[in-house]
Structure 1
Amino acid sequence: MIVRKYIENNLKQLNKLYFGTNSHKRKLYYSKLAILELCGWIEESMDNIIQMCANRLLKLQATKTHIKRQIIDRNYGFEYKNHFIKMLSSVIGFMNIERLEKKLDASKNALLLSALGTLKIIRNAEAHTHLKGVTRHVDSPSITLNLFSQVFDGLKDIEIQLKVIKC
């Protein structure tokens, strides 16, 4: 089960720190950390959803172990199609992914896909650069917190629908 409490508290704390400082450089640090924290949580949550689905649907421990070691542990990203769907297809197949996507709340899924696309661009920029000066701009942690809500709602909908889908 994906959990909202810990990451939401972390993002709120970073937002509080952001608005509690006058240092532009510290604001950049808090903003960058909020983005990286959220993206790490997304990857862990996607992995968790895949493992729970595998544990529920697969019978052989060897197959469950294979999913963990060869699929989940080798995944390093959170893009919907390139990472999440690729892992999910290993467990339920593309036919069931189509069935799943038809059952998803369209607005939650659209917001999820949009937020993931936005976060990928921002995360890649932040993960592959360092703070050379203080002229850069990074959105405040409150923006990241808003993206978190969209991602959480979309992933929660997927998690719920996976529990009821007949594979």
Structure 2
Amino acid sequence: MSTIDVISKESILSNLRMLDELYSNSSSDITKPILYSKLALIEYCGWLECSIDIIMNKIVEYVQSNDLKRIGENAIKKVAGFSYDNHFIMLLIQTFGIVNTDKLYQEFQEGGKLDILRSKLNNVDLIRARNRAAHTYHSDISITYNAPNLYINEVEKIHEILVDIYNYINSVLNSENSENSENSENSENSENSENSENSENSENSENSENSENSENSENSENSENSVSESNETLSA
């Protein structure tokens, strides 16, 4: 799982260019060019995995439940690879949701960006070379790897697509959060308005009752005074 939180190409390009220069200056050596090429391959594939992690971790940041957030983070940690079908899309469906992933498809499919990304990440030769480089040490000069400058070109092609996907996902999740916050605020305002109305109605009812009681009391007093006055007249 990556500790980097921004999809950047500067560092990886710097590393690859340095390795490419070392590779070019070691043509007289049998072993060094192979080792530089091998390291360039591992660096490039590591950058792919980190970039995918960054996208998925950004999605998990929006999760409110700590339990679900922990499950999402653990799911990302368990994935070791960068293939389009088995890693990138499967993680996207698990974290972003299949409906949102479908919307992302509609957004990017027309420009052919997902086709490009799929062809790059599903490259069988790249995956095999990476697995061999990552799990073996150099002992056979017949095994070679692509020159570092190949991966420089690949980073340039893929970086823009990954950043566009990252920004799209961030925009969708921000919009959903804003909508939920607005609905929550409207619901709270509606509840406060209802409580205020109920309080006002209660107060009006109480005032009406007090007024009625006061009127009844006054009528009763007037009636009593009238009887008393009548009795006085009869007495006289």
Does TM-score exceed 0.5, indicating one fold?
yes
The question of whether the paired residues in 1 share the 8 Å contact of 2:56 and 2:92 is answered with yes
Between the aligned partners of 1:79 and 1:27, the Cα distance in structure 2 is: 27
Residue aligned with 2:31, SS: helix
**Does the alignment pair 1:158 with 2:162?**
no
The question of whether the paired residues in 1 share the 8 Å contact of 2:38 and 2:145 is answered with yes
**Does the alignment pair 1:89 with 2:96?**
no
Aligned to 2:105: 101
The question of whether the paired residues in 2 share the 8 Å contact of 1:104 and 1:161 is answered with no
1:38 deviation in Å?
Answer: 1.1
Q: Could you tell me the percent identity over the aligned residues?
A: 29
Find the structure with the greater CA-based Rg.
Answer: 2
**Does the alignment pair 1:3 with 2:13?**
no
Residue aligned with 2:79, SS: coil
Aligned to 1:34: 40
1:164 deviation in Å?
Answer: 2.3
1:148 to 155, 159, 171: 155
Kindly provide the CA deviation profile for residues 23-49 of structure 1, in whole angstroms up to 9, marking residues without a partner as x. Answer: 131111111111111111111111111
Aligned to 2:143: 136
**Does the alignment pair 1:72 with 2:100?**
no
Q: Could you state the TM-score of these two structures normalised by the residue count of structure 2?
A: 0.64
1:136 deviation in Å?
Answer: 2.9
After superposition, residues 118-137 of structure 1 pair within 5 angstroms as 118=123, 119-137=126-144
2:51 to 45, 50, 70: 45
Q: Which amino acid is the alignment partner of residue 140 of structure 2?
A: G
Q: Could you state the TM-score of these two structures normalised by the residue count of structure 1?
A: 0.88
Kindly provide the CA deviation profile for residues 55-106 of structure 1, in whole angstroms up to 9, marking residues without a partner as x. Answer: 13x222222222112x111111111121112212122211111110111263
Between the aligned partners of 1:38 and 1:11, the Cα distance in structure 2 is: 8
Unaligned residue ranges in structure 1 (runs of 5+): none
1:150 deviation in Å?
Answer: 2.2
Between the aligned partners of 1:113 and 1:33, the Cα distance in structure 2 is: 24
Between the aligned partners of 1:44 and 1:126, the Cα distance in structure 2 is: 18
CA gap of 1:154–1:24, structure 2 versus 1, over 3 A, is: farther
Residue aligned with 2:26, SS: coil
Aligned length: 165
CA gap of 1:121–1:153, structure 2 versus 1, over 3 A, is: farther
Between the aligned partners of 1:128 and 1:143, the Cα distance in structure 2 is: 22
1:15 to 17, 20, 33: 20
The question of whether the paired residues in 2 share the 8 Å contact of 1:104 and 1:157 is answered with no
The question of whether the paired residues in 2 share the 8 Å contact of 1:108 and 1:150 is answered with no
**Does the alignment pair 1:112 with 2:123?**
no
Cα RMSD over matched residues? 1.8
Between the aligned partners of 2:95 and 2:64, the Cα distance in structure 1 is: 12
1:161 deviation in Å?
Answer: 1.6
Q: Which amino acid is the alignment partner of residue 14 of structure 2?
A: N
